[in-house]
Amino acid sequence: MLIDGKKISQKVRNSLKPKIEELKEKGITPGLAVIMIGDNPASQVYVRMKEKAFKKLGLKSKSYKLPADTSQGEVVQLIDELNNNDEFHGILLQLPVPDHLDEMELLEKIDPHKDSDGIHPVSLGKMVLGIEAPLPCTPHGILKLLEYSNIETEGQHAVVIGRSNIVGKPIMNLLGQKTDYGNATVTLCHSRTKNIKDITKQADILISAVGRPEMVTADYVKEGVVVIDVGVNRVDAPNTEKGYKLVGDVDFDAVEKKARAITPVPGGVGPMTISMLIYNTVFLADKYSA
């Protein structure tokens, strides 16, 4: 089974429409402020996709594009202004930020009640404790992919490759919680894991989020595995119009033959991340609007 992130992300967006209409009837239009510093090409594409998705649902989205040499103090000042602006229910700091900026300090400056990305320390702390809060977009999107694909997680052995604060650690936590799409036994692998293939071959559900092109080959998995590929890697493809192509962390053609379900790249996890950003913004507008 091919897990189609485009179709599932559309279902998630459609499910939000009644709540959006309900809020609008109360005079509330969920709004997102996006802060983008510098001119990272991938970030520019992503921000345009976000704006388009918000507009299509009749939501408000505004991008604040700052020069690459913007100071820490200037970004903090903008965040403070947006924290106090009732027009926006969510604030997103587009990552990565330029090297001279303190990314963690900037994330902490965002009001947790406006944390549309779900990665503020307060939001992550609530997630670990099982308290309602906006969840990190990509891990939440993975849970939705499993849910809409009717893939059981309870009692399954889930193996996560990658320990980032944005994907690896949160999805490890969420899959292990006492929830409908938790109750899994979870193993976290990373760059220092020894004999990694011995571990990944035990996985009923394998999630790769390491950013290494086609690292996961057929000898990493057992027959009947469910594979969620979070990686998006640009590799040279001289014979194509663009001169490059996007591939995941998983060698799709080889692993697909052994998997009972797998996400493609592109078109798998990526579309879900934007849908969950919308989900979080609507959630925050509903929960914290005056």
Query: Cα(156)–Cα(189) distance, rounded to whole angstroms?
Result: 16
Residues 221 and 201: beta-carbon distance below 8 Å: yes
Catalytic residue among 94, 109, 249, 251: 94
Is 117 tagged catalytic? yes
Tokens representing residue 90 in the block: 């969510």
Cα separations (Å) of 276 from 128, 132, 241?
Answer: 18, 15, 32
Catalytic residue among 109, 114, 115, 117: 117
Is 202 tagged catalytic? no
Render the burial of 50-83: b for 16+ CB within 10 Å, e for the rest. Answer: bbebbeebebbbebbebeeebeeeebeebbeebe
Q: What is the DSSP string of 160-218?
A: EE---TTTHHHHHHHHHSSSTT---EEEEE-TT-TTHHHHHTT-SEEEE-S--TT-B-G
Q: Coil, helix or strand for 33?
A: strand
Beta carbons within 8 Å of 110's beta carbon, 6+ residues apart: 79, 83, 91, 93, 120
Q: Which of 79, 174, 164 is nearest to 135 (CA)?
A: 174
Is 249 tagged catalytic? no
Tokens representing residue 84 in the block: 């106090």
- Residues recognised as catalytic: 50, 94, 117
